[in-house]
Every structure is written in structure tokens, then in C-alpha cells.
């Protein structure tokens, strides 16, 4: 199954859409399983510390995917998209991400907002933007959620991932790409 639209991907095994990986698994289902296993096991460890900046974001991706991909924690070098939507050109990922994380810092990492609703709206803005940048070749969604958990905790909220409804959440992420943040704010609010 093609899950990413990507042009000429040297990161994949020739003739496949399976990403080269440290375990040399060429079957996508097995790779998915291995990826998730490694992710879950790294989740048990202390997470990298940081200032909720882009360096921190990269370190989190590296932490969770270091067992699977050589390029864990590094920004992608080819153009990717999902569905109808193409993400940021690789050459603009770093400047766009730095800009976004600067704005996040200027907004006090959403930690001094008065209400949960306001936090959810701010978090929807951030998630939509980081998703449009899509720094990594794989593992963006999971890194987004880990970071959202950190932002919430930093603001005094515990994110309850059991409240995440995958279908509506994905739909909300997709419409957020076109600038409609409201459904995503609703989905985030459900979890805090």
C-alpha cells in the first residue's frame, strides 16, 4: 500500500515503498509491527529533555525511532504528501520549523492561557502547522502526539490518549491542512 506520495525515494528498498531499516525488514506489515514495538519500548524510558523547541522535537523523533531508522531525528530530504496534500519542500523545513517554534515560544508554549478551550485552539494551530511542515519521512503523527502531551503537561493538563478518536482526529488533521482548525481543536479538547 502506498501511504506516502514521494518522488524517487532513495530511502526505500528498490522497487518497493518499504523504508530501509536497521532490522532489514522488507515486508511493510512486519516493519509496522517492529516500528511500533520499538516506539512503545522507547516510550517506557525517560524522554529527552529540552526547551520545547525544534531541537527538542528532533531529539524526540530520534529517541523513538533510533532503533528502526538511521535517519531518526533528521529532517527528510525528499518531497512527501498524503492524500491530496503535499507537505513543505524539504529545503524549507528547517527555516519554517524554526519560525514556528519561535512563534510557539512567543506564545509561551500555550502555557499561560486561561482555559482548556484556549489551550486546545492553540494546540490545534501548532499541530496543523507542524503537520504541514512534516519534518520527517515517517513518524510525524506519533512525534506530534508526544509533543502535544508535553505541551499539555507544561500547561498543567494531562492528555488522555484513550479519548483520541482516530477517525475524527485524522479527518480534523486533514481539514486543518486547509486552514480549518475548529474540528482539530474539538478533538484535542476531548483529550484534556
Ligand X SMILES: Nc1ncnc2c1ncn2[C@@H]1O[C@H](COP(=O)(O)OP(=O)(O)OP(=O)(O)O)[C@@H](O)[C@H]1O
The contact set with ligand X (CB under 6 A) reads 82-83, 85, 131, 138-142, 144, 170, 173-174, 177
Whole-number Å distance between alpha carbons of 11 and 96: 23
Of 1 and 114, which has the nearer Cβ to ligand X? 1
Residue with cell 522497487: 15
Residue 73 or 139: which CB sits closer to ligand X?
A: 139
SS3 19: strand
Q: Could you tell me the smallest distance in angstroms from the CB atom of residue 114 to ligand X? A: 27
Residue ranges of the alpha helices (H) in the chain? 28-43, 54-65, 90-106, 116-133, 140-154, 166-177, 182-191
Query: To the nearest whole angstrom, how small is the minimum distance from the Cβ of residue 187 to ligand X?
Result: 10
CB of 11 to ligand X, least distance (A): 13
Please name the residue that has the C-alpha cell 506516502.
Answer: 4
CB of 56 to ligand X, least distance (A): 17
Alpha carbon distance 117, 93 (integer Å): 29
Minimum CB separation of residue 74 from ligand X in Å reads: 14
Put residue 47 in one of left, alpha, beta given phi > 0 → left and psi -120 to 50 → alpha: beta
Residue with Cβ nearer ligand X (156 or 165)? 165
Question: CA angle 170-174-180, nearest 5°?
Answer: 120
Instruction: Quickly tell me which residue has 530530504 as its cell.
Output: 77
Pick the closer one to ligand X by CB: 3 or 108. Answer: 3
Q: Please identify, using beta-carbon distances, which residue of 28 and 85 lies nearer to ligand X.
A: 85
Residue with CB nearest ligand X?
Answer: 141
Amino acid at each position: 500500500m502506498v501511504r506516502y506520495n514521494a518522488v524517487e525515494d532513495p530511502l526505500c528498498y528498490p522497487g518497493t515503498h518499504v523504508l530501509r531499516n536497521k532490522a532489514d525488514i522488507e515486508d511493510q506489515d512486519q516493519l509496522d509491527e517492529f516500528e511500533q514495538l520499538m516506539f512503545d519500548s522507547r516510550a517506557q524510558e525517560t524522554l529527552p529533555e529540552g526547551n520545547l523547541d525544534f531541537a527538542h522535537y528532533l531529539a524526540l523523533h530520534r529517541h523513538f525511532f533510533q532503533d528502526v531508522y538511521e535517519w531518526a531525528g533528521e529532517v527528510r530530504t525528499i518531497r512527501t504528501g498524503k492524500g491530496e496534500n503535499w507537505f513543505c519542500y524539504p529545503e524549507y523545513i528547517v527555516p519554517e520549523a524554526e519560525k514556528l517554534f519561535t512563534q510557539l515560544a512567543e506564545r509561551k508554549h500555550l502555557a499561560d492561557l486561561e482555559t482548556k478551550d484556549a489551550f486546545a485552539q492553540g494546540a490545534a494551530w501548532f499541530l496543523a502547522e507542524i503537520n504541514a511542515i512534516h519534518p520527517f519521512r515517517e513518524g510525524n503523527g506519533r512525534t506530534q502526539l508526544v509533543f502535544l502531551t508535553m505541551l499539555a503537561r507544561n500547561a498543567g493538563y494531562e492528555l488522555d490518549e484513550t479519548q483520541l478518536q482516530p477517525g475524527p482526529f485524522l479527518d480534523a488533521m486533514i481539514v486543518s491542512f486547509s486552514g480549518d482548525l475548529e474540528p482539530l481543536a474539538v478533538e484535542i479538547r476531548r483529550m484534556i
